[in-house]
Structure 1
Amino acid sequence: MGGGPRAAAIRPPPLPGSRVSELVETFARNAAAAGFVVHRGEAPTIAGAEVSRASFGVAATGSVVLASSPGEPRARHLLPETHVSLLREDAIVSDLAALFAACGGSLPSALAIVTGPSRSADIEQRLVVGVHGPREVHVVLEPPS
């Protein structure tokens, strides 16, 4: 996320450690089910992958929330074959209602909620992965700083 004043405005409220831990485990389970490769700690080195800082994670769906800004352009998470999202564990919220409450009405001009690799069955109703975005998505869960 970029370093401008708008970027600093969207942060979830602090939660007790046990609640964060529960959200992290729920997020990791649901993200893996959605097609993310989940890593803990350090980002893997993947040739050709683009890396973005996620603003939030949504535990209920295993989604990462990517806010576009001059420092985090949309192309970075839309165009590569492989994308890696860096997500701080204390930026995981329970559900969409909690996400929008945490944003507090100060949404960026472009916000992507990504739940696994891009999928489409528009042509002949055959599922194709990677048509409208990356074929392979990773999320790195980083401990709170």
Structure 2
Amino acid sequence: MRFSVAALSAAAALAACQPAPETAARDAWLRLPAVPGRPAAAYFTLESVNAKTLVGVSTPVAERSELHESSNDGGMMAMRPLASVPVEPDMPVRFAPGGKHVMLFDLTPQAMQDARTTLTLRFEDGSALDVDAALVKAGEEPPFE
């Protein structure tokens, strides 16, 4: 029994020494639409220790997604699609209301029933990152700000 406890302790200590992931996303959430059939939007903060380029995001609760950026042009809000989003080393990129975001189209019925989903972030180098995200109904406070 002592050997098992010692082996488990050693494994736990080694796991704690693992390096932090190269690329991480945090504070992920989706704003569900107030009107059924309209798109949702996904938000998160993305950071990497190495230069990366985000080229897409998918989720099981939407049939299609697009990277977008909102801006204020002379008092008029405008939104444009983005082909990719560069992430510079140690310079977090925030996807937030009024700025960069992911538009999610053709939501599945499970989007309105579930409290959480997964966002899969895809990068130009072929890597991917799965992120847990909260689903927030229209009018509810976002979980992160």
What range describes the TM-score normalised by the shorter chain of this pair? Answer: under 0.3
Higher helix share: 1
Larger Rg: 2
The TM-score with structure 2 as length reference comes to 0.24
Higher strand share: 2
